[in-house]
A and B are shown apart, each in its own frame.
Chain A
Amino acid sequence: MRQLALSDEILMKIEKPARYIGHEINSVVKDKNTVDVRFCMCFPDVYEIGMSHLGIQILYDMFNRFEDTWCERVYSPWPDLDAIMREEKIPLFALESQEPVKNMDFLGITLQYEMCYTNILQILDLAGIPLINEERTWDDPIVIGGGPCAYNPEPIAPFFDLFYIGEGETQYRALLDLYKKDRAAGISREEFLRHATNIPGIYAPACYEVSYDEQGIISEFKPKYADVPEKVRKEVETNLSDTYYPVKPVIPFIKSTQDRLVLEIQRGCTRGCRFCQAGQLYRPIRERDVEVLKQYAKELIENTGHEEISLSSLSSSDYSQLEELLLFLIDECSKKKINISLPSLRIDAFSLDIMSKVQDVKKTSLTFAPEAGTQRMRNVINKGLTEEVILDGAKLAFEGGWNKVKLYFMLGLPLETDEDIAGIGALCNEIAKVYYETVPKEKRNGRVQITASTSFFIPKPFTPFQWAPMNSQADFREKAYKTRQGIISQLNQKSIKYNWHDTDVSVLEGVFARGDRRIAKVILDAYKSGCVFDAWNEYFHYDKWLDAFDKNGLSIAFYNERERSTDEILPWDFIDIGVTKAFLKREWERAQRGEITPNCKEQCQGCGAAVYGSGKFCFE
């Protein structure tokens, strides 16, 4: 039995000790003396959130298939344990070996959302790793970041030695081989990092320098050395049917946030919604073969004993073999009494039929994401969902027995007018009207329940809106108020519930999303003043963040509220995602004219992602 890093006394005192003891089914324990590389994968949030993430499971499985590598996991210690670890000077440890993270060769941190940035510093701090890359030595692991936020790594650049830009399946082997070779050759850490930049997709922030003009806009961004490339190209796994997939995922003892098996059916999306970052980052669209998925599903069920399975992708309705896959799953899962958790599907006769087979119609709600209240606004954002489609879908659903509908909208989209905001309430009202017209009184199961939720639009890198100004907090609050007014002025307002998000977090997320290297100091100062777990309301201290901006003489408005010129050097311009800046610019101009752009399936728009040679629709 492996010795636990925490004493019984501590484990009995803290919340959910199972977060820290490892030993989960399918976790991998190797003999540390027989491996060359020890890799620790980190999700910088609490265990239950981190254990719900498929990406880490994919990489964990891949690394552990390498005979010379042992990959372990670590998550953010919750504040109760954090305080004890600092007080008793207990170093952060990996779950499998229960040994200090500092003993590892690599610490890989996945960057899934901007609000985890202070948690990265907590991880480094508790591990005893210097927070700033230049202060590290070979006694410290190589700290490498990856995931969606790595597409603008600049606000956290000084905290990382390397970033892996793109999908992890392709270049990690090369990176580990280089590491082994350079370590054996006794090369300095700095030199290894420099060598690593020659591996596709690898970015070493310390090998680049940035200068700014008097307005604070980047004037130059360039490598410090001749052998370091100017551009870093995103890595893409070109064949999803022949790569790593974790068919023996680690099963947590405690319930994780997404407590189910996950089948990733495709990557990428052909819809080209202009606000959506994932839709651009993960181009070109690649499907996983349906026969491969069936096999994975069988193995996953056998290897985990899980009671629920779900599909993962950006837009499951677009998967070409969806019907075949779902019919297979329904059959297989009913034999084994496994629930199918359906992803958000486009509402049509087929999806409603499937839903009624696997869910209790009375208990579940239908989801639409119109994102905006009027057709004009939906054209600006290129959301190809019309009012007619929504109302037809709702009618079908009401006929099928559903009476709960959820609607998602965004406020603060570029070129938004009061009419668009008023349109949110109007659309909700129309849906309610459809219900009362469709379902006769005697068949009604109470009132129709419509829930409208708005989030605040945050412009993200690598989208056509990367140049757009973001609304101020005051704008957001006013718009949420107007939305509410719009809803309560409706005839069917009693059937409509309205939820909106907090504005403080959105403002910070905006700065981190499009920030530059100077923001790192703000994050560091906020962390030092006690900010951590910013994604958790109860731990979020907006005032401390404002102080950190003030202290560093940086303005939130500069990062959020300014419309950027399309000539400006953006902090993330050194990354090449395949999709070209020219395409994004064209889309930004079309948005301003309210012109829609067809789905890739209908017509190639020449976005640039075809260079990867694997897109399903790039060559048809």
Chain B
Amino acid sequence: MKLRIKFSKKGPLRFIGHLDIMRYFQKAIRRSDIDIAYSTGFSPHQIMSFAAPLGVGVESEGEYFDIEANSVTTADDMIKRLNAEMAEGMVITGMRILPDNAKNAMASVKAASYRLNWKEGYAPEYDLSAAVARFHDQKEVTYVKQTAKSTIERNLKEAVYELKAIDDRTVYMLVDASSAGNVKPGAVLECLAGFYNREYNSNAVQITREDTFTDSVDGVFLSLGEVGETF
């Protein structure tokens, strides 16, 4: 059966990249004796799918991966066993059984919510709530991304579903995180800073992903952690 596992990633471990986090969980799952299913062949690997990769340096309270399990006990027991194997900063916060026809974690992702907080010793160089209001007032907010080969333009108004200032140093946003249209939260801050002819300093802001979402039938985003059944 398919299980969805939710975890948070904070502290020094935010400097561990996505591929290494996958390897980290493969080992943790072996240590905790979770009855995971393996592929066949000379080098069998665990059947596992991660939702949205998290950038290096970003913290998260809503990360997900799915595994195929041969058997389960209870979610509480399995969470406890996995948590006994976690490094400081990683916590397993939930586990559910997915319906057989559920899309895997990666294919499910449609949106993600973020909290962006100016670190100690730094402050925004403009008024956050005014900047957010200006964002909402505009019909189009164009983000221009320069890559080695081309220039990509994106209207952020279509990709930012929610944006609000929580206080004078914290912004909340819900943005497109689908594989085709993923928006980096820093891009939004770049545009806000751009309103005031300022540069966005990525070192000044701690980004925390709050949760990852899929789309539901009624058009409301549904947390990946709410798909499936508790056990």
Q: Enumerate chain A interface residues (CB-CB to B < 8 A).
A: 1-2, 4, 8-9, 11-12, 17-18, 21-25, 251, 253-255, 301-307, 336-337, 339, 358-360
Determine whether the beta carbon of A305 is less than 8 Å from that of B89.
Answer: no
Give the distance in Å from the alpha carbon of A66 to the alpha carbon of B63 in the complex.
39
Give the distance in Å from the alpha carbon of A305 to the alpha carbon of B38 in the complex.
14
How far in angstroms is the closest Cβ of chain A from B50? 16
**B57 sits at the interface (CB 8 A):** yes
**B87 sits at the interface (CB 8 A):** yes
How far in angstroms is the closest Cβ of chain B from A232? 42
Determine whether the beta carbon of A22 is less than 8 Å from that of B12.
Answer: yes
Other than A8-B57, A23-B11, A25-B27, give 12 A-B pairs with Cβ distance below 8 A.
A1-B11, A1-B89, A8-B119, A17-B15, A18-B17, A21-B13, A23-B13, A302-B31, A304-B31, A305-B30, A307-B30, A339-B42
How far in angstroms is the closest Cβ of chain A from B225? 25
Determine whether the beta carbon of A339 is less than 8 Å from that of B43.
Answer: yes
Contacts of B26 in A (CB 8 A): 305, 307
Determine whether the beta carbon of B13 is less than 8 Å from that of A12.
Answer: no
Determine whether the beta carbon of B16 is less than 8 Å from that of A18.
Answer: yes
- Kindly report which residue of chain B lies nearest to residue A9, judged by CB atoms: B203
Determine whether the beta carbon of A23 is less than 8 Å from that of B89.
Answer: yes
Selected from B11, B24, B30, B38, the residue in CB contact (under 8 A) with A253 is B24
**B75 sits at the interface (CB 8 A):** no
Determine whether the beta carbon of B16 is less than 8 Å from that of A304.
Answer: no
Give the distance in Å from the alpha carbon of A313 to the alpha carbon of B8 in the complex.
41
Q: Enumerate chain B interface residues (CB-CB to A < 8 A).
A: 11-13, 15-17, 20, 23-24, 26-31, 38, 42-46, 56-57, 85, 87-89, 119, 202-203, 206
Determine whether the beta carbon of A4 is less than 8 Å from that of B12.
Answer: yes
Give the distance in Å from the alpha carbon of A586 to the alpha carbon of B57 in the complex.
62
Determine whether the beta carbon of B12 is less than 8 Å from that of A251.
Answer: no
5 A/B residue pairs, CB under 8 Å, sorted by A: A2-B12, A18-B15, A303-B31, A305-B27, A307-B27
Determine whether the beta carbon of B28 is less than 8 Å from that of A305.
Answer: yes
- Kindly report which residue of chain B lies nearest to residue A334, judged by CB atoms: B44
Contacts of A303 in B (CB 8 A): 31
A23-B87, A360-B42 known; A255+B23 contact, CB < 8 A: yes
Give the distance in Å from the alpha carbon of A23 to the alpha carbon of B13 in the complex.
8
Contacts of A4 in B (CB 8 A): 12
A304-B31, A305-B26, A339-B43 known; A254+B12 contact, CB < 8 A: no
Determine whether the beta carbon of A23 is less than 8 Å from that of B28.
Answer: no
- Kindly report which residue of chain B lies nearest to residue A4, judged by CB atoms: B12
Give the distance in Å from the alpha carbon of A1 to the alpha carbon of B45 in the complex.
33
A24-B87, A305-B29 known; A12+B20 contact, CB < 8 A: no
Determine whether the beta carbon of B12 is less than 8 Å from that of A1.
Answer: yes
Contacts of A336 in B (CB 8 A): 30
How far in angstroms is the closest Cβ of chain B from A332? 13
Contacts of A255 in B (CB 8 A): 20, 23
- Kindly report which residue of chain B lies nearest to residue A336, judged by CB atoms: B30
Contacts of A301 in B (CB 8 A): 30
Determine whether the beta carbon of B30 is less than 8 Å from that of A21.
Answer: no
Determine whether the beta carbon of A11 is less than 8 Å from that of B31.
Answer: no
**Most B Cβ at <10 Å: residue of A17, A303, A337, A358:** A337
Determine whether the beta carbon of A23 is less than 8 Å from that of B31.
Answer: no
Contacts of B56 in A (CB 8 A): 12, 17
How far in angstroms is the closest Cβ of chain A from B119? 7
- Kindly report which residue of chain B lies nearest to residue A360, judged by CB atoms: B42
Give the distance in Å from the alpha carbon of A4 to the alpha carbon of B11 in the complex.
10
- Kindly report which residue of chain A lies nearest to residue B39, judged by CB atoms: A337
Contacts of B42 in A (CB 8 A): 339, 358-360
Determine whether the beta carbon of A337 is less than 8 Å from that of B57.
Answer: no
How far in angstroms is the closest Cβ of chain A from B9? 12
Give the distance in Å from the alpha carbon of A25 to the alpha carbon of B85 in the complex.
8
Contacts of A9 in B (CB 8 A): 203
- Kindly report which residue of chain B lies nearest to residue A18, judged by CB atoms: B16
Give the distance in Å from the alpha carbon of A251 to the alpha carbon of B25 in the complex.
12
Give the distance in Å from the alpha carbon of A302 to the alpha carbon of B209 in the complex.
32
- Kindly report which residue of chain B lies nearest to residue A11, judged by CB atoms: B15
Contacts of B203 in A (CB 8 A): 8-9, 12
Selected from B24, B27, B57, B87, the residue in CB contact (under 8 A) with A12 is B57
How far in angstroms is the closest Cβ of chain A from B43? 5
- Kindly report which residue of chain B lies nearest to residue A307, judged by CB atoms: B26
